[in-house]
Structures are given as C-alpha cells and as structure tokens.
Amino acid sequence: MKVLFVCTGNTCRSPMAEAILKKINEQIEVKSAGIFAADGAGMSVNAQTVLKEKNIPCSHQSRTLTKEDIEWADYIFTMTTSHKNYIMQMFPKAADKTFSIKEFVLGRHEDVIDPYGGPVELYRKTYNELESLIRQLAAKL
C-alpha cells in the first residue's frame, strides 16, 4: 500500500505525518509533498526537534506535489479540507482516493493544527494530534 500525505509547504505537518506512519507501520510505503512547497527546503527546526524527542528519524527535503505523486498513491491524505479540494480540482481522477485525514479517520471535515511559525509547544500539540490520527488511520487501512 502507498500513502501520500499533503500539506501546504511540506516542512511541518505532512513530513511529520510521513515519519509517524513509517514508524508505526513499516509495511506501508509513505511519501509527503506540499501544494505550495519550495523544493529542497529542510523540515522546520521545531518539527525536527519534536521528532527527535520521539526518536523518529527526520531527514527530509520538501517537495512540490506532482502528477506522479498522485498516480503513485493508493491513498492521499491531506491536512486540511482546502488541500483536499485543491487536489480534487487539479487532479479530478484522484477524487476517489483523496481524503482529509480527519475526514477519513473521524468522519469530520476539520483541519489538523498548523504549527508553522509557532513555538515548539505548538509543534508538540500538532505531533500529538497527528500521532493519534495516524494510529487510527493505520488500523483502518
């Protein structure tokens, strides 16, 4: 199974989600990308800090979402409903495999906390939210 996580810049939420799922289930192939990512940027320092606190490897370079990513994935999980809507507008054929993560796991149209630019405590809160969602996600896949 191939899972793609998508956020805005691919420096905070989606790479944390990728790292968490890789740790939880090594059988699933996982990638992440950003809708408006600057290719080759590093993961945010605070995101790296939180992953290191959890002993999760975190070497990551941001990537812009591509058609190849969409075609590669069996499931695409976005951090927000607006990310999902963007993907469905740009890649209509991906509609049946694209969900916001909270929609898929909880059946709710809510967004994952965006820690971008915030203190490390906000990144910890986002990590905790993502870890809970991804544990439930892994059980559903």
| 66-94 per-position pLDDT tens digit | 999 999 999 999 999 999 999 999 999 99
Domain assignments of the chain as residue spans, ordered by start: 2-140
Could you give the 3-state DSSP secondary structure of residue 114?
coil
Evaluate if pTM is beyond 0.85: yes
CA distances from 4 to 42, 65, 69, 89, 122 (A): 18, 10, 7, 17, 23
Structure-token pair, residue 3: 């899972």
Cβ proximity of 32 and 18 under 8 Å = yes
Which residues, 6+ apart, have CB-to-CB distance to 29 below 8 Å? 1, 2, 3
Question: Which positions are catalytic?
Answer: 7, 13, 114
Which of 104, 94, 91, 109 is closest to 133 using CA atoms? 104
Q: What is the CATH number of domain 2-140?
A: 3.40.50.2300
The pLDDT tens digits of the residues spanning 4-56 come to: 999 999 999 999 999 999 999 999 999 999 999 989 998 999 999 999 999 99
pLDDT value, residue 71: 98
What is the reported pLDDT for 52?
97
